[in-house]
Amino acid sequence: MNEKSEELVFNDNFLILTEGKNVEKIQNIYQKARLNISSQSGLPTNLRIGIQVALLKSIITLLDLGLNPLGSEIVPEYQTLMTEIIEVYVKLQPPNESNWLMECVQYGDKKAYHWDWKHFGSKELF
């Protein structure tokens, strides 16, 4: 599988996630963030897309929170996100007709809020 085939295609399904947002900015950040995670070559399509939508949603949520998705605190978290999704996929082996992709979107959203607290909010408390 070549690098081009690994890219997230911003088709109608993914545009739903970016509705009302600056799609060009999100695409640019997404492509830069992808450079910080392991290659997804050889992964099942459903898993690969799950990783992509989780990454995309985490970027969108970080932007909504006013955080830099390419900040030095955040970038290492993307590899962890990918690893966690792979671990869950291997355990569940979700069928294509499951709600796997929607769960990945929600997980990316939750992780962005967690990173906000972990790197920024928790320091305010202590």
Tens of pLDDT along 3-26? Answer: 443 455 555 556 566 677 788 888
Domain that holds residue 22: 3-125
The pTM of this model reads 0.83
Is pLDDT above 80 for 55?
yes
Report in angstroms the alpha-carbon separations of 84 from 27, 64, 111.
23, 23, 11
73 CB-near residues (< 8 Å, 6+ apart) = 115, 119, 120
Positive or negative, the Cα torsion across 80, 105, 9, 18?
negative
Mean pLDDT of 40-47: 88
User: How confident is the model at residue 1, as a pLDDT?
Assistant: 33
6 CB-near residues (< 8 Å, 6+ apart) = 39, 40, 41, 48
Give the count of domains, the chain: 1
